[in-house]
Structure 1
Amino acid sequence: MTLATILIPAHDEAAVIGRTLWYLSRGLPLGQVRVVVIANGCSDATAARARAALPQALVIETERAGKCHALNLGHAAADPGAPVICLDADLDVTAESLLALLEPVAEGGAMAACGQMDVATADASPAVRTFYVGWRANPYFARGKFGGLFALSPEGAARVFPLPEVTADDEFIRRSFAPGEVAFVPGCRFTARAPLTMASLLRVRRRSLRGARQIARMGKASPERGSARAMLRRALAAPADALPIAFFLLVTLWVRLSLAVDRGAGAARWERDLTTRVPG
């Protein structure tokens, strides 16, 4: 019996894929979980590192770069009767968290499930650390972080796969479900690493907003509404939070303005953070 298939799209992730697989494999019942790494458009040793780190994994290689294409290939190799977990190649998550994430989609009737993301900022610049203090004050995240790591029931996976070619695959999937169809699992925690510099952070935020707008043009409205007003109210009620919240909102505004004046903002570009792609 297969508990789940874990899909890990990886583009030039040789520096980090071993760490990710090491984290998730400790305590994971590998005889019951199918791990599929999709090395897409790689110019490095991502596939070889993945095979060395977890010989039990199925490693698919494709010359075509693209996360949605990679996820579609991985889903085609998944067990059709089991839930699917989508995991970014640069995240740290334990087997315990993954198994907790599976419960609502395997037994509880939820179509999708997400956990709580922690952001490691110790090595980031002071400005980046301030941004993420404000980011954590966003009330939207009280229901978890749908992105980077999430689980889908077999019915939920059938609803969204095959994915269209979009930049914001996580956002497309999240908006394909009503809020009541998504379970928040507090017992599932995973760690992402913050960009080390403001320049890299701004590139990532531009990509995120550009991708969200592409999804909106497809007719999928965002469930995240009123967050800025709620954050302003929190800043007024708790002066200690005012500076990081104000900084977060200013960065968000700057990103919106920069895209407004960028004639190429509608083009498909993947502005990637490379500052955290270091061996670990």
Structure 2
Amino acid sequence: MSELATVLIPAWNEAAVIGRTLATLQQGLARGRLRLIVIANACTDDTAAVARAAAPEALVLETPIAGKSQALNLGVSYALPSRPVVCLDADLDVTASQVLALIAPLLDDRALAACGTMEVDSAGASPAVRSWVRAWMLNPYFTHGKFGGLFALSPKGVQRVFPLPLVTGDDEWIRRAFAADEVAFVAACRFVARAPRNLSSLIQTRCRSLRGARVISAMGRPAPLREGVGAMLMAAVSQPQRWGDLVVFVAVMAWVRLRLATERAAPRWERDATTRPSLSGKV
């Protein structure tokens, strides 16, 4: 069978989760249908070794240069020419059949990019985090798919966005490079993300996300219309049971904005450590 697409998985110190991600991705995978490339960047743990053990047929690249954008730029140079490229975060769960469904609109040039449906696993999260997630999912943005964490680009789409600039919000940079009618929403492609387990970790990750989005806006790529808190308020009008969740969401985001307004220097990288338990099983 010929390879249909390349899956790029940038990974920085993801030894605790990369095995799970690769095992899920290979479920039902017919040999030779997808080229898997893991880019272990500036890792100080066993990410590369775990990836090779979990997916012996994958190409595992190692680079001392940190940064997701740089990792993707390296990985795309090994991608199949004239075939779609799928970008997958190292901590998400998606099967091969769902990835193949995701790339289907790109194989016949119906779209330049494609995204799927994100499901958030908040089972291990605190009540406040679960409330925030329920409100977040009211954003009309999600009705058109979640372009972030997992998405696919056609060969023309790859040419449009690569090489990526060295920005923190790489997913957002790519999302804003395409008009709405250039992106296919593939509802059948469902992937799982895990919510932070506590409020502190949630705030850290939202700080990184909002900071990155602001930088991209300043670079001349504004966010699409009909998104954000205003759109969520409109969506919540007919759902009184979600008003309490919305209050939590607004409070958390107000705290995030206050924190960004008072920070002196951005940390190197803020990410959720609560969903990345150590290999010994400790959180």
Structure-1 residue corresponding to 2:183: 182
CA contact (8 A) 2:6 2:80 kept: yes
Structure-1 residue corresponding to 2:258: 257
Gaps of 5+ in 1: none
How well do the aligned residues superpose, as a CA RMSD in angstroms? 1.4
Identity %: 59
Distance verdict in 2 for CA 1:226–1:95, change over 3 Å: closer
- How many Å apart are 1:108 and its aligned residue? 4.5
For residues 62 and 225 of structure 2, the distance between their equivalents in structure 1, rounded to whole angstroms, comes to: 36
SS of 1:170's equivalent in the other structure is helix
For residues 224 and 273 of structure 1, the distance between their equivalents in structure 2, rounded to whole angstroms, comes to: 28
Structure-2 residue corresponding to 1:273: 272
Structure-1 residue corresponding to 2:60: 59
SS of 2:166's equivalent in the other structure is coil
**CA offsets 1:61-104 (integer angstroms, 9 cap, x no match):** 00111101110110000012110000000000011210110111
**CA offsets 1:236-271 (integer angstroms, 9 cap, x no match):** 33211111122112212221222122232xx46311
One-letter code of the match for 2:207? R
SS of 2:237's equivalent in the other structure is helix
CA contact (8 A) 1:167 1:268 kept: no
Structure-2 residue corresponding to 1:130: 131
- How many Å apart are 1:231 and its aligned residue? 2.1
Structure-2 residue corresponding to 1:21: 22
For residues 249 and 108 of structure 1, the distance between their equivalents in structure 2, rounded to whole angstroms, comes to: 40
TM-score scaled by length of structure 2: 0.95
CA contact (8 A) 2:116 2:186 kept: yes
One-letter code of the match for 1:263? R
**Segment drifting more, 247-256 vs 80-89:** 247-256
Where does 1:1-280 land on structure 2 (aligned, <5 Å)?
Answer: 1-264=2-265, 267=266, 269-278=268-277
CA contact (8 A) 1:30 1:56 kept: no
One-letter code of the match for 1:165? L
- How many Å apart are 1:224 and its aligned residue? 4.4
**CA offsets 1:216-242 (integer angstroms, 9 cap, x no match):** 111011114354223223333321111
For residues 160 and 51 of structure 2, the distance between their equivalents in structure 1, rounded to whole angstroms, comes to: 29
Q: Which runs of 4+ in 1 moved over 6 A?
A: none
- How many Å apart are 1:29 and its aligned residue? 2.6
**Segment drifting more, 221-230 vs 13-22:** 221-230
Gaps of 5+ in 2: none
Corresponding residue pairs, total: 278
CA contact (8 A) 1:39 1:62 kept: yes
One-letter code of the match for 2:78? A
